[in-house]
Amino acid sequence: MSVVIGPKEGYAAIVDKGEQLCQTSLAKIFWLSTMAGCFIGFGALLSLSISGNIEPMILSIGEGVSKYIYAMLFPVNLLFILLSGSILYTGATFTCPSAWIEGRVKLWQACAVIGVAWIGNIVGGFGFAVLTDLCGLNSGGVAKLAIKVLESKTSKGFGVIFLRGIGCNWLVCMAVFLQTLAQDMSGKYVGIIFPISTFVACGFEHYPANAYALPLAWLATLKDEYKEPGQSGWGEILGLNLIPCSLGNLIAGVIIMSCGFSYFFGSLNTCPPPGLVPKQKQLEDGTSSYPRMPAVQEWSKGIAAAAQAAAAPAAPKAQQGATPPAPPTQERPAWIEAIPANNAGFARTVSC
């Protein structure tokens, strides 16, 4: 019994999700990405609240404890995002380019979704930071740790943050991919928690997370009890972190993940130049000349076979005196049979 699909089918699901996102109105993309920015805030605030208030333990054991706790608590936000259908800029840099590479959408559609997701994430992140501050939660250990994070993330230089952004989104997109393979809730969280906790603990740079944490720290620096000379402002936040981080995230999503998986399982396996895939044409018999990935075709055949088997009439009862059929060697619950029949639709119900 398996509730995990294979990597070829997983890439087909990523392409399907990218196509669905590019066919969604940009207004809806904006609000879904704004919601994702708020969900990022929930996870980051949880991590800041716990890690920022264990100073005695940190002093006695070391800062690694705080970093570990922060990393293990943070992934809860991606569970909220992916299972609710919200949209992250980082995941969009994987799904939408994949759909374009496979000839399913136009380049401008993919770019539009990515750009609007970037804006929505920072709007949601900043809005949730303001809410956190108005709730009186941006104080004490939370404010101190947030300011410490701000100074660390704006003091590394453009190139370092850019490279850390690449490492981060490589892992974030792997979390998106692994949770796509899993078809149940527990499997999805396992696929999410390990890549996300790894990038947080290693110190890589995630644009949506920084779009919440850094504005939260900036709001804390406006208070007299936390204000100090030389603290970073919005110029440093944008120029030394959010912009280079976003560019690094983009490179990882498009080059490493989209192009990489297309080379493994999609149209780049035969190395046609991206963007030169033949446009969709309707033939006289109603079929399409649109290029189809082998993974998609195999997946579709499996779904059709499962649907046909489910619709087949039950076998007639044995006649009296006739030899009864041999019992099945292993009974499978009905919900297991439903998994392959719903994989195609499932890809469209969760975000990437």
How much is the pLDDT for 67? 79
Average pLDDT, the chain: 83
CA 117 to chain CA mean position, Å: 12
Residue 129 lies in a domain: yes
Residue 334 lies in a domain: no
How much is the pLDDT for 87? 96
How much is the pLDDT for 305? 72
Q: How many CB atoms lie within 10 A of CB 337?
A: 12
Burial (CB count within 10 angstroms: exposed 0-12, middle 13-18, buried 19+), residue 177: buried
How does DSSP classify residue 326? P
Helix (H, G, I), strand (E, B) or coil at 136: coil
Token reading at 246: 């976003």
How much is the pLDDT for 347? 46
How much is the pLDDT for 170? 97
Residue 327 lies in a domain: no
Helix (H, G, I), strand (E, B) or coil at 229: coil
Residue 12 lies in a domain: yes
How much is the pLDDT for 274? 52
Shortest CA distance to 237 belongs to which of 192, 207, 264? 207
Determine the Cα–Cα distance for residues 29 and 24; give it in Å rounded to an integer.
7
Q: Which residue has the tokens 């939660």?
A: 137
Residues 6 or more apart whose CB falls under 8 angstroms from that of 56 comprise none
Determine the Cα–Cα distance for residues 272 and 274; give it in Å rounded to an integer.
6
Residues 6 or more apart whose CB falls under 8 angstroms from that of 225 comprise none
CATH number at residue 39: 1.20.1080.10
How much is the pLDDT for 345? 46
Query: What are the φ/ψ torsions at residue 113 (nearest 5 degrees)?
Result: -65, -45
How does DSSP classify residue 3? -
Residue 197 lies in a domain: yes
The boundaries of the domain holding residue 184 are: 7-270
Residue 155 lies in a domain: yes
Model pLDDT for residues 204-226, shown as the tens digit of each residue? 999 999 999 999 999 999 999 99
Burial (CB count within 10 angstroms: exposed 0-12, middle 13-18, buried 19+), residue 273: exposed
Tell me the mean pLDDT per 10 residues along the chain, length 352: 81 94 96 97 92 72 76 90 93 96 95 98 97 95 93 95 97 96 90 94 95 96 90 94 98 97 87 50 42 54 67 58 54 40 46 49
Number of folded domains that form the chain: 1
Determine the Cα–Cα distance for residues 89 and 101; give it in Å rounded to an integer.
18
How much is the pLDDT for 320? 56
Model pLDDT for residues 244-300, shown as the tens digit of each residue? 999 999 999 999 999 999 999 988 876 655 554 444 444 444 444 444 555 555 655
Residues 6 or more apart whose CB falls under 8 angstroms from that of 58 comprise 65, 66
Residue 214 lies in a domain: yes
Helical H segments across the chain, by residue range = 7-22, 26-51, 55-61, 63-73, 76-84, 89-101, 107-134, 140-153, 158-181, 185-202, 207-221, 234-237, 243-251, 260-265, 294-311, 334-346
Burial (CB count within 10 angstroms: exposed 0-12, middle 13-18, buried 19+), residue 25: exposed
Shortest CA distance to 81 belongs to which of 89, 73, 71? 89
Residue 296 lies in a domain: no
Residues 6 or more apart whose CB falls under 8 angstroms from that of 31 comprise 120
